[in-house]
Amino acid sequence: MIRFERVAVIGVGLIGGSFALALKAAGACAQVVGVGRGAENLDVARRRGAIDAVAADAAEAARGADLVLVATPVAQYAGVFAAIGPVLGSRAIVTDAGSTKQDVVAAARRALGARISQFVPAHPIAGAEHSGAAAASAELFGGKRVVLTPLAETAAAAADAVEQAWAACGARPHRMTPEAHDAVFAAVSHLPHLLAYALVHDIATRDDAGLLFGYAASGFRDFTRIASSQPEMWRDICVANRVALLAELDRYAAQLAALRPLVERGDGAELERVFGAARAARERWLKGDFEP
């Protein structure tokens, strides 16, 4: 089992706090130093045993660390990379937990220079209703996928170490390129969020919004659950991954345009075929028939 001496968690929220708790539960690290915006939240993280010490800033946390997890909102990554770059030891490894990867890689390249070989971009596919260190759990990543997108310059040993760290947290690591990652998540995550926000926004801005919401039921509730996601986080994701998201949005608009005449002419046979194919694919997915 891999073991780190000093792990720096930059951004001790749900993800950063859960990573720290999971590594500790696995006996994979000796000490965790945390940094974050809220003193109260860091206090919770310390009381819950996620972190052992609080650093004043990212540079102080990263100094002397053999593993650094960047888990702030992605919009803050450029500043974090710029702060930690100069203090990174030659054997330190940096990873992150951002939902987009090409923009993260670009920011890391700009700020880390030659240290880019020590950076292993990652995206754990896990979340929860609540945020902050109070919601963190050593079990958050259990059985969940984590995508690693090592670069051509990434040291093989660094990628292996990050893979083992996530595996120690209970996650199932997979590797792909940053471009493939952003295309896949544009389709199965970023677009659905945009679609859910769009539906709720459209209804909310009508004169009869009260009447419409008054009759919305459980199907509507589940379909729009992701429209209760953090607006700031999804703003950043949509902007960072706008090229891939735009391609998905155009594909989806074309799909709706293809369904429109079926509805217009009441083509029940073809509608049933489309609905049946979708349902069958979803049932296969629920059974776990699709593995990357």
Give residues 114-133 in contact with a copy of itself (rule: CB under 8 A).
Answer: 125-127
CB within 8 Å of 105: residues ≥ 6 apart: 121, 149, 151, 178
Is 275 an interacting residue with respect to a copy of itself (CB under 8 A)?
yes
Contact 46, 54 (CB under 8 A): yes
Euclidean distance between the first and the last CA atom of the chain, given in angstroms as a whole number: 25
Is 245 an interacting residue with respect to a copy of itself (CB under 8 A)?
yes
Nearer to a copy of itself, 24 or 190 (CB): 190
Nearest-5° angle of CA 244, CA 108, CA 85? 165
Is 142 an interacting residue with respect to a copy of itself (CB under 8 A)?
no
Single out the residue of 65, 69, 84, 238 in contact with a copy of itself (rule: CB under 8 A).
Answer: 238
Single out the residue of 39, 114, 152, 290 in contact with a copy of itself (rule: CB under 8 A).
Answer: 290
Give, as ranges, the residues between 247 and 266 that touch a copy of itself (CB under 8 A): 249-253, 255-257, 259-260, 263-264, 266
Single out the residue of 63, 109, 145, 175 in contact with a copy of itself (rule: CB under 8 A).
Answer: 145
Nearer to a copy of itself, 157 or 239 (CB): 239
Contact 4, 23 (CB under 8 A): yes
Candidates 35-43, 55-63, 133-141, 242-250: pick the segment binding a copy of itself (CB under 8 A): 242-250
Q: How far apart are CA 289 and CA 158, in angstroms?
A: 32
Single out the residue of 38, 79, 113, 292 in contact with a copy of itself (rule: CB under 8 A).
Answer: 292
Is 236 an interacting residue with respect to a copy of itself (CB under 8 A)?
yes
Is 239 an interacting residue with respect to a copy of itself (CB under 8 A)?
yes
Nearer to a copy of itself, 152 or 208 (CB): 208
Give, as ranges, the residues between 203 and 232 that touch a copy of itself (CB under 8 A): 203-205, 209-229, 231-232
Amino acid at 259: L
Candidates 10-18, 43-51, 76-84, 278-286: pick the segment binding a copy of itself (CB under 8 A): 278-286
